[in-house]
C-alpha cells in the first residue's frame, strides 16, 4: 500500500478490531512516519449514530468547549 502523505511504500504494522466487528489492517510509512489504515469502508456505519453509548465524556467536553467558545466570542466579536 502507498502512503497517503508521501506515496512511499508502507509496511503492515498490526491489525485492530473496529466497531467490534471489522478487522482492519494498519500500515506504517518509514519515510514520513505516517500511520494509516486500509481504505476505511466502515465510516458510514461509524458515523451513523452521532454519539456512541460508550462515550462517557461527551457532556464534559461540551461544557468545557462552550466556555472557550464564549470567551472567544466575547473578546473577538461585538
Angle ∠(31,38,52) on CA atoms, nearest 5 = 120
Q: Residue 35 forms beta bridges with which residues?
A: 28
Could you give the percent of the chain with pLDDT greater than 70?
A: 100
pTM: 0.64
pLDDT digit string, tens, across residues 37-58: 999 999 999 888 877 777 889 8
Which residues are within 8 A (CB) of 8 and not within 5 positions of it... i.e. 6 or more apart? Answer: 2, 29, 30, 31, 32
Long-range contacts from 44-50, C-beta under 8 angstroms, 24+ separation: 45/19, 46/18, 46/19
Distance of alpha carbon 22 from alpha carbon 45, whole angstroms? 11
Mean of the per-residue pLDDT values of the chain: 93
Amino acid at each position: 500500500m502507498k502512503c497517503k502523505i508521501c506515496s512511499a511504500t508502507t509496511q503492515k504494522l498490526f491489525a485492530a478490531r473496529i466497531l467490534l466487528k471489522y478487522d482492519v489492517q494498519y500500515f506504517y510509512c518509514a519515510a514520513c512516519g505516517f500511520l494509516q489504515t486500509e481504505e476505511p469502508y466502515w465510516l458510514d456505519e461509524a458515523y451513523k449514530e452521532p454519539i456512541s453509548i460508550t462515550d462517557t465524556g461527551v457532556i464534559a467536553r461540551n461544557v468545557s468547549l462552550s466556555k472557550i467558545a464564549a470567551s472567544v466570542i466575547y473578546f473577538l466579536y461585538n
